[in-house]
Amino acid sequence: MKEEIHPKWYPEAKVICNGEVVMTVGSTRPELHVEIWSGNHPFYTGQQRLVDTEGQVERFMRRLHRRQEIQTEFEQQAEAASPLAAPVEELGLTTRAQKALRDEGLNTIGDVLERYRQGEDALLAITGVGQKALIDIKRFLRNQGMIE
């Protein structure tokens, strides 16, 4: 073995945790300072204790919160992309029929579908919506698979 290339070996190195010597081991350093050892680790002691090293818990909580925000945004986008949330202008009706639906408070296709499910007469009772508009509404809803 070559001389002076290996570090000095300390067969009785002290392991210190919270200012207290907890054990001795062999090491290349005379003292080892640790924060956790088997005597205070939650796995070995059976106690629940939060051990936060360099803000790992806070970083995890930030990532979790951001993930929940992204999930909420995704759900809102999916809801907005739904054909039921589309405005009545996409039905392809005449301007008069569109205005009549909006005046009645039917601003989205979902609102029109809900009124249609009450019966065709519920739509025909709206002034400005006639047979032609009803046919166009039914055609659009069938093409979208909303009615049979």
Residue type, 47: Q
User: In the Cβ-directed half-sphere of 38, how many Cα atoms lie within 13 Å?
Assistant: 1
Q: What does R_g of the chain's alpha carbons equal in angstroms?
A: 36
Q: Which residue has the tokens 């569109």?
A: 98
Pull the structure tokens for residue 65: 């919160």
Question: Which string of DSSP letters, residue by residue, matches the chain?
Answer: --TT-SPPPEEEEEEEETTEEEEEEEESSSEEEES--TTT-HHHH-------STTHHHHHHHHHHHHHHHHHHHHHHHHHHSGGGSBGGGG---HHHHHHHHHTT--BHHHHHHHHHT-HHHHHTSTT--HHHHHHHHHHHHHTTS--
Distance of CA 48 to the CA centre of its chain: 28
CATH of 83-141, one of 1.10.150, 2.40.10, 1.25.40, 1.10.3470: 1.10.150
Q: Is domain 10-45 annotated with CATH 2.30.33? A: no
| pTM over cut 0.85 | no
- Fold agreement (10-45, 83-141): no
Neighbour count for residue 119 (Cβ, 10 Å): 10
Q: Which residue has the tokens 């106690």?
A: 47
Query: Per-residue pLDDT tens for 8-65?
Result: 999 999 999 988 899 999 999 999 999 888 888 877 777 766 666 677 888 889 999 9
Question: Residue ranges of the domains in the chain?
Answer: 10-45, 52-81, 83-141
Query: Per-residue pLDDT tens for 94-138?
Result: 889 888 888 988 888 888 888 888 988 888 888 888 899 888 888
Pull the structure tokens for residue 109: 């296709």
Q: Give the span between the Cα atoms of 88 and 96, in whole angstroms.
A: 12
Q: Percent of the chain having pLDDT more than 70?
A: 95
Per-residue pLDDT, 49? 60
